[in-house]
Amino acid sequence: MNKGKKFVGQPILSQILSCISTDIIKQSSKQHRSNRYYKRLPVRVHLVSLLYGVFSYCNGLRELCEGILACEGKADTSWFRSGSRS
Protein backbone atom coordinates (compact mmCIF):
# COMPACT_ATOMS: atom_id res chain seq x y z
CA MET A 1 0.00 0.00 0.00
CA ASN A 2 1.35 3.41 -0.98
CA LYS A 3 1.56 5.65 2.07
CA GLY A 4 1.77 9.40 1.80
CA LYS A 5 4.98 10.96 3.04
CA LYS A 6 3.40 14.21 4.20
CA PHE A 7 1.15 12.64 6.85
CA VAL A 8 3.13 12.25 10.03
CA GLY A 9 0.35 10.74 12.11
CA GLN A 10 0.24 12.30 15.53
CA PRO A 11 0.94 16.04 15.79
CA ILE A 12 4.25 17.04 17.34
CA LEU A 13 2.49 18.55 20.36
CA SER A 14 0.77 15.25 21.14
CA GLN A 15 4.05 13.40 20.80
CA ILE A 16 5.80 15.70 23.24
CA LEU A 17 2.92 15.67 25.71
CA SER A 18 2.91 11.89 25.69
CA CYS A 19 6.54 12.03 26.88
CA ILE A 20 5.73 14.40 29.75
CA SER A 21 4.15 12.58 32.65
CA THR A 22 1.53 14.37 34.74
CA ASP A 23 3.35 13.04 37.80
CA ILE A 24 6.44 15.01 36.79
CA ILE A 25 4.39 18.19 36.45
CA LYS A 26 2.64 17.62 39.78
CA GLN A 27 5.91 16.89 41.56
CA SER A 28 7.62 19.93 40.06
CA SER A 29 4.73 22.28 40.82
CA LYS A 30 4.59 20.98 44.38
CA GLN A 31 8.35 21.39 44.82
CA HIS A 32 8.38 24.95 43.47
CA ARG A 33 4.91 25.83 44.84
CA SER A 34 3.89 27.15 41.42
CA ASN A 35 0.18 26.34 41.80
CA ARG A 36 -0.04 28.28 45.05
CA TYR A 37 -1.74 31.44 43.78
CA TYR A 38 -3.53 30.25 40.66
CA LYS A 39 -7.25 30.78 40.29
CA ARG A 40 -8.17 29.36 36.92
CA LEU A 41 -4.99 28.29 35.10
CA PRO A 42 -2.97 25.47 36.68
CA VAL A 43 0.63 24.81 35.64
CA ARG A 44 -0.32 21.82 33.47
CA VAL A 45 -2.70 23.85 31.29
CA HIS A 46 -0.24 26.74 31.17
CA LEU A 47 2.53 24.41 29.94
CA VAL A 48 0.35 22.94 27.19
CA SER A 49 -0.87 26.32 25.99
CA LEU A 50 2.68 27.72 25.90
CA LEU A 51 3.96 24.72 23.96
CA TYR A 52 1.07 25.03 21.51
CA GLY A 53 1.84 28.72 21.03
CA VAL A 54 5.50 28.01 20.31
CA PHE A 55 4.86 25.18 17.85
CA SER A 56 2.14 27.04 15.96
CA TYR A 57 4.06 30.35 15.84
CA CYS A 58 1.31 32.35 17.55
CA ASN A 59 1.97 36.08 17.74
CA GLY A 60 -0.62 36.92 20.36
CA LEU A 61 -3.08 35.65 22.88
CA ARG A 62 -5.96 35.91 20.42
CA GLU A 63 -4.22 33.62 17.91
CA LEU A 64 -3.41 31.18 20.71
CA CYS A 65 -7.02 31.02 21.92
CA GLU A 66 -8.43 30.67 18.41
CA GLY A 67 -5.93 27.93 17.56
CA ILE A 68 -6.67 25.92 20.68
CA LEU A 69 -10.42 26.24 20.12
CA ALA A 70 -9.98 25.14 16.49
CA CYS A 71 -8.16 21.98 17.64
CA GLU A 72 -10.79 21.09 20.21
CA GLY A 73 -12.08 17.98 18.45
CA LYS A 74 -8.74 16.93 17.00
CA ALA A 75 -6.42 17.17 19.98
CA ASP A 76 -6.38 15.23 23.20
CA THR A 77 -8.15 17.66 25.51
CA SER A 78 -7.42 15.75 28.70
CA TRP A 79 -4.46 18.06 29.25
CA PHE A 80 -6.76 21.07 29.37
CA ARG A 81 -9.04 19.73 32.08
CA SER A 82 -8.25 21.29 35.40
CA GLY A 83 -8.31 19.23 38.54
CA SER A 84 -11.09 19.21 41.07
CA ARG A 85 -11.07 21.96 43.63
CA SER A 86 -11.30 21.16 47.27
The DSSP code sequence of 38-80 is -SS--HHHHHHHHHHHHHTT--SHHHHHHHHHHTTTTS-GGGG
Q: Is the pTM of this model over 0.75?
A: no
**Domains in the chain: how many in total?**
1
Could you report the per-residue pLDDT of 28-75, keeping only the tens digit for each? 989 998 888 878 888 888 898 899 899 889 999 999 888 888 877 665
**Is 86 inside any structural domain?**
no
Rounding to the nearest 10 degrees, give the CA dihedral for residues 21, 46, 53, 25.
-20
Asked whether the beta carbons of 74 and 14 are under 8 A apart, the reply is: no
**Is 8 inside any structural domain?**
no
- Domain holding 53, by residue range, is 38-72
